[in-house]
Amino acid sequence: MNEILTRIEQTQHVVLISHLNPDADSLGAASVLYTHMLRLHKKVSWFCATKNIDQKLLFLPWSEKIRSSFPTSADLAISLDCGSRDRLGVAVACDLINIDHHASNEEFGKYNLVDLKCISTTEILYKLFRDNNITINPKMATAIYAGLLDDSGGFLDEKVDGTLFALVKELIEMGADYKLCNKYIMKYQTLGAFRLKAIMHKNMELFCDGRVAVFCVTNEDMKISGAIGSDCESTLEEALWLPSVEVSFLLKQNRDLSIKCSLRSSSKVDVNAIASTFLGGGHASRAGFTLESGIALESAKEKILKLICKEL
């Protein structure tokens, strides 16, 4: 049997870790393993350092079990969709299994299951279970589909091909509630998110002949709209569908005045490479990093713009 599955068999108490500001893939992957651990009659906890999890993701099986305090009694941790140790939002002392698909993954686990060919971390789990004859039940199939749907940008990503649709068909046959995922992940929005969109649309700036779209979101914008951090991302991604836009990035002020930068690209510009010059990472088409407090939004914007325009 697979080394990772063997280690899981030996555990008394496992903690599943979704990354900071979790998406449907990180939560979906943890959800899949949560079901699996219950079937194995293991004690299981689900940790996420972010307290305000996007409401639209709380339809995922077992998401009501997520806690923001780390269980010290766990003897095994499994990080899902975390490219680097700082994405965990916690210091982990016990053995760690790192399951991820980010090109920037730092293989920080004692065991690492990193597959860059997979479109989502949930796809890695699908393959692990399939190859080891582990049954995928409807709850698991739903969570696997959720990760695929979100990380492929609603099946619009360049990497989407017939093999992926064949996998989707299989998941539906296994009982995946794809309609529920489609509704919540693709369409559901809170009033706060809806209001923030209007602010972001109004304040968007275009550079390099309209090829780069830039969004700056201040703490004030967040307060007025009542949105949460992850609400910024859909507008950031939508901007790529403007005819001239090839790269979009967002600078979002955090409460401690550090700045979170998220980048998206639909062209040859590798935003993972740009993010890594700021010690961040991700994928060629979506990446991010954080700038320490003290740097002004405007000067951060100039710096990043310069790097992107050089690549265009």
Q: Which residues bind Mn ion (CB under 5 A)?
A: 25, 81, 121, 151
Q: Alpha-carbon distance 185 to 154, whole Å?
A: 9
Residue whose CB is less far from Mn ion, 25 or 54:
25
From the CB of 13, what's the least distance to Mn ion, in Å?
Answer: 26
Question: What is the smallest separation between the CB atom of 23 and Mn ion, expressed in angstroms?
Answer: 7
Q: What is the largest CA-CA distance in the chain?
A: 58
Name the closest residue to Mn ion (Cβ).
25
135 in helix, strand or coil?
Answer: coil
Smallest separation (angstroms) from Mn ion to the CB of 205: 29
CB 190 within 8 A of CB 227: yes
Q: Nearer to Mn ion by C-beta: 11 or 288? A: 288
| Residue among 25 and 246 whose Cβ is closer to Mn ion | 25
Which helix (DSSP H) or strand (DSSP E) does residue 7 occupy? helix 3-10
For Mn ion, which is the closer residue by CB, 118 or 259?
A: 118
Least Cβ distance, residue 259 to Mn ion (angstroms): 23
Task: Outline where the chain has alpha helix (H).
Answer: 3-10, 24-39, 121-131, 138-151, 162-173, 178-181, 191-203, 219-225, 233-238, 271-276, 297-311
Closer to Mn ion by Cβ: residue 151 or 246 = 151
Tell me the closest approach of the beta carbon of residue 101 to Mn ion, in angstroms.
6
Q: For residue 208, give every residue at least 6 positions away whose Cβ sits within 8 Å of its Cβ, in sequence order, or none.
A: 305, 308, 309, 312
